[in-house]
Chain A
Amino acid sequence: MIEVLFVLFAVVALGGAFGVVISKSPVASLLFMVATLASVAGIYVLFEAHFLAAIQVLVYAGAIMVLFLFVIMLLNLGHDYRADLRFGLWSLLAFVVAGLTAGVLAQGFMDVGDTGFREDGAAIAAALDEAAREEGVAGVIAEPLFTDYVVAFELMGLLLLVAIVAAVVLAKPRN
């Protein structure tokens, strides 16, 4: 059952990712992107990472992509996209970078295949299950996030705030 669902979500996620690149209309690209994000969320659920799945849909599919859609529609890119597609040196470079990234990833997976996963993986999974029963699925993530990694977390928030302020300053007309 889980394998079947995994294959289903994986196919949709990969197909969606191809669709984002291939489709000619920006709105279609965006919908493919939403499908990919939702499928990845489905895979998270299969891994029993429920909280991550919910946040993935809530933040990426539900908020950020809606903003993308908003911008695409406001700029009315849906009818004239060809000027935005540039070929030449850049697309060549993009292919090279994508190929290298895929190679590195493939190498990484092969290494994992050779050495196997962590030996204490089952113990960690059991401990996580126990923690999820005790504190709820959100607590398992929230506890380390607000204790061990609280400085990094706050810095991340500050970074986002800086980006928002910068965007407002840039968008403001000068007088």
Chain B
Amino acid sequence: MTQRPAASRLPAVLLLVATLATAAAYLRATLALPYPELADPLGPKIFPMLVSGGLFLCALLMVVDLRRAGDGRTAILLEGNQPFDTRSTLMVLGITAWTGAYFFAFERAGFVLSTAIFLAGLMHVFHRGHVVTNLCTAAGFTAGAWLLFTRVLSVRLPQGLLPF
């Protein structure tokens, strides 16, 4: 097996740092918990403390994993990793922002309006060049889902700006 360049190790190193940061923040929050008068002998802190200990153990195992790369073998921590490329990362950020906006409008504008616009927008980007199909699918799916969930399954969906 060949040693990987330092760049491919970056996500693994970031994962290690994130694990340590999560473990430290969780332990700090656990220690800050008040001890209630009516608690069992162990109290509400002990289990979270064990969990934070487990997270620190994971970080230690990751260090051991990464050190394996030093003697010419592939670090286990890098096995199966897929590269983060700029284009994909930007795309995921874009979809996250658009979906966040959809969720923001979900109650305010209502299910029908927000869903139809959200779907039409996303389909316009990922099913390019089929404007009529995209619009019909977005409208048809929204209407179908609204009918199924509100009329057949009696699920309450936000009304928002429209009267239904």
A and B are interacting partners: no
